[in-house]
């Protein structure tokens, strides 16, 4: 595979515009979009196209906090898809709207950390959608620094952030900053620089498989706990047994 090929996973809550962003990056309608508050994407979808003469694979994922998708089902679906994206993605795009940074946005970041570990932020870039909501002449960096939680996220991601507007910036010739074409080019440059800083490594299957093993162990503990066999199993870790004592099941 060419070293310039890129595999990019798009993450964010339902309604933030993940599928639209993927279409904007590709410059064509590849992913289905939905104008309602419900997620159009219930399964991960991977598509590959040529962008500026290079091969880009985008993986669109179900939205976090989608009422139609249970949390555990979402976690399994995202991890399954990325494991199949061998040998792993080069980058994650964390999508947030240009709007007030609420507890739900903070929960999105916590969920990403939970699913993939703190290591994921070395491979992540923040991409704001609905960029037309920025004040006239305002950059996304200026917007970011107005909120401490957003600033903390930016630091986690090595200062990498961009902004896009899937609706209003498509053919903006008057202001380069408010042009999707310009922002996509800058985004891909940022990803190239990040890959170089990571010495060409991608977020590997080993990292994901470690997360998946943790999920399976958690599920086994819950099954044993519900069946009352947890404390009788010699393989149960001491820390879990200690919790059993505390909760009164041992």
C-alpha–C-alpha distance, residues 93 and 79, integer Å: 15
Side-chain half-sphere CA neighbours of 118 within 13 A:
3
Burial 184-209 (b: 16+ CB within 10 A, else e): beebbebbeebbeeeeeebbebebbe
C-alpha triplet 151, 152, 155: angle, nearest 5°:
90
Domains and CATH numbers, the chain: 6-203 (3.40.50.300), 207-247 (no CATH)
Output the tens digit of pLDDT for each of the chain's 250 residues: 456 789 999 999 988 999 999 999 999 999 987 655 455 556 788 999 999 888 999 999 888 876 666 777 777 787 777 776 778 899 999 999 998 788 888 898 998 888 888 889 999 999 999 999 999 889 998 888 888 888 889 999 999 999 999 888 987 667 889 999 999 999 999 999 999 999 988 887 566 666 667 666 766 777 776 666 554 555 555 443 333 333 444 4
Token pair, residue 94, equals: 């964390």
Token pair, residue 192, equals: 């190239």
Is 117 in contact with 211 (CB distance < 8 Å)? yes
């Amino acid at each position: 595979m060419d070293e310039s090929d890129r595999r990019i996973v798009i993450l964010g809550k339902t309604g933030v515009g993940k599928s639209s962003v993927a279409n904007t990056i590709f410059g064509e309608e590849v992913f289905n979009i939905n104008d309602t508050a419900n997620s159009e994407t219930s399964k991960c979808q991977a598509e590959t196209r040529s962008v500026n003469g290079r091969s880009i694979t985008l993986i669109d994922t179900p939205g976090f906090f989608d009422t139609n998708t249970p949390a555990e089902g979402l976690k399994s679906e995202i991890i399954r898809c990325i494991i199949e994206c061998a040998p792993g993605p080069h980058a994650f795009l964390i999508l947030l709207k240009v709007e007030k940074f609420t507890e739900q946005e903070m929960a999105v970041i916590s969920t990403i950390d939970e699913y993939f570990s703190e290591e994921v932020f070395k491979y992540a870039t923040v991409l704001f959608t609905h960029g037309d909501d920025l004040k006239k002449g305002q950059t996304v960096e200026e917007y970011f620094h107005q909120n401490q939680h957003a600033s903390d996220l930016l630091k986690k991601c090595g200062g990498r952030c961009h902004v896009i507007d899937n609706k209003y910036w498509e053919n903006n010739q008057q202001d380069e900053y408010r042009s999707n074409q310009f922002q996509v080019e800058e985004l891909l440059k940022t990803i190239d620089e990040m890959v170089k800083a990571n010495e060409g490594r991608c977020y590997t299957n080993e990292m994901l498989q470690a997360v998946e093993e943790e999920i399976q162990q958690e599920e086994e503990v819950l099954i044993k706990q519900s069946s009352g066999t947890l404390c009788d199993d010699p393989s149960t870790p001491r820390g879990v047994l200690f919790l059993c004592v505390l909760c009164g099941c041992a």
